[in-house]
């Protein structure tokens, strides 16, 4: 691991390294998207290279697929894999019940499909992602381009009757044009500030015509691995209720992480 990483990147690295310990040879894995998930792909590639680990990965975005292939992680489609043993992914927010907001990287649709097609989902994050209540991070909603302004208006109208603090909605842009997801859709970000009932909000949003999926992951995450800049790692298992504290060595080394730029 490079010695000059920021504390947040060190936290992401140690969370990713600990999560990859759950991977066993022969597994079919969902590979998440985002800067923390990119560390996980690198850690997985290191185990493949050094231990001869045999796995197949299903990426949740074209970016993850490109990174995995470049590092020698075998990649297959979800249709080929059919069902997965484990998905490891990041999150933008995590509450005490392991409910998540995801989609900051605009890959929420594929991420949710892959996560729900897995026996288990492990979320990796730095400590800043843990919150008492979801909503400070804008909630991404993937919508089809046709009639997106009407869909956005329907979302805003629906939010009036829901337990949220704000109802500001914006189309996510990529420069001067709307951001386009891997599935050729748009993202509307909901700046809610506080979500009182995530389960209700998720169900209601997905009933709106034009909405493809939202970034609330409810009852999907099984384990969260939280990393800290000093190498400490906390593992919380929602099913067993167990909390495990550990530590990952942050000593620099000349390995696959030398060129990491996330």
Domain count, the chain: 2
Cα Rg of the chain, angstroms: 18
Residue 147 covered by a domain: yes
Specify the range with the lowest mean pLDDT, choosing from 4-8, 13-17, 65-69, 181-185.
Answer: 4-8
Short-list 85, 35, 3, 13, CA closest to 233:
13
Pair 18, 84 in one domain: yes
Are 83 and 172 in a shared domain? Answer: no
Active site residue 244: no
- Residues 103, 199 share a domain: no
Quote the pLDDT of residue 34.
Answer: 97
The per-residue pLDDT for range 195-247, each reduced to its tens digit, is: 999 999 999 999 999 999 999 999 999 999 999 999 999 999 999 999 999 99
Contacting residues for 104 by C-beta, under 8 A, at least 6 apart:
34, 92, 137, 140
Which residues make Cβ contacts (< 8 Å) with residue 82, sequence separation at least 6?
A: none
Binding-site residue set for substrate: 33-36, 89-92, 102-105, 129
CATH number at residue 150: 3.30.70.260
Print the domain residue range for 58.
7-130+219-247
Which ranges of the chain does DSSP label H, i.e. alpha helix? 7-20, 35-51, 62-71, 78-81, 108-116, 148-159, 198-205
**Single pTM value for the model:** 0.94
Q: Which pLDDT does position 251 carry in this prediction?
A: 73
Residues 125 and 172 in one domain: no
Q: Does residue 252 form part of some domain? A: no
Q: Which residues are annotated as a binding site?
A: 33-36, 89-92, 102-105, 129
Given 111, 183, 242, 244, which residue is catalytic? Answer: 111
Same domain, 224 and 208: no
If phi > 0 it is left, if psi is from -120 to 50 it is alpha, else beta; for residue 192 that is alpha
pLDDT tens per residue, range 125-159: 999 999 999 999 999 999 999 999 999 999 999 99
Tokens representing residue 32 in the block:
């998440």
Same domain, 186 and 146: yes
**DSSP state letters, 29-96:** EEE--SHHHHHHHHHHHHHHHHH----EEEESSHHHHHHHHHHT--B--HHHH-SBSEEEE--SEE-T
Please check whether residues 105 and 225 belong to one and the same domain: yes
């Amino acid at each position: 691991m490079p010695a000059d990483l920021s504390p947040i990147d060190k936290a992401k690295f140690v969370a990713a390294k600990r999560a990859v310990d759950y991977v066993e040879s022969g597994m079919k894995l969902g590979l998440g998207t985002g800067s923390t998930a990119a560390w996980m792909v690198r850690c997985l590639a290191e185990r493949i290279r050094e231990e001869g680990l045999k796995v197949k990965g299903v990426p949740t975005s074209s970016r993850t697929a490109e990174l995995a292939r470049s590092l020698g992680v075998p990649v297959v489609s979800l249709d080929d894999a059919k069902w997965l043993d484990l998905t490891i992914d990041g999150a933008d927010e995590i509450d005490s019940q392991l409910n998540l907001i995801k989609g900051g990287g605009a890959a929420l649709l594929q991420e949710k499909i892959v996560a729900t097609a897995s026996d288990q989902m492990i979320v990796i994050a730095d400590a800043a992602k843990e919150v008492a209540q979801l909503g400070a991070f804008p909630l991404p909603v993937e919508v089809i381009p046709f009639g997106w302004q009407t869909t956005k208006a329907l979302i805003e109208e629906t939010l009036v009757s829901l337990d949220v603090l704000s109802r500001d909605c914006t189309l996510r842009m990529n420069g001067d044009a709307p951001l386009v997801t891997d599935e050729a859709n748009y993202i509307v970000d909901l700046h809610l500030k506080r979500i009182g009932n995530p389960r209700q909000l998720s169900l209601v949003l997905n009933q709106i015509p034009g909405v493809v999926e939202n970034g609330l992951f409810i009852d999907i995450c099984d384990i969260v691995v939280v990393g800290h800049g000093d190498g400490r790692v906390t593992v919380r298992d929602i099913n067993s209720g167990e909390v495990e504290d550990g530590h990952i060595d942050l000593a620099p080394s000349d390995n696959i992480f030398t060129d990491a730029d996330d």
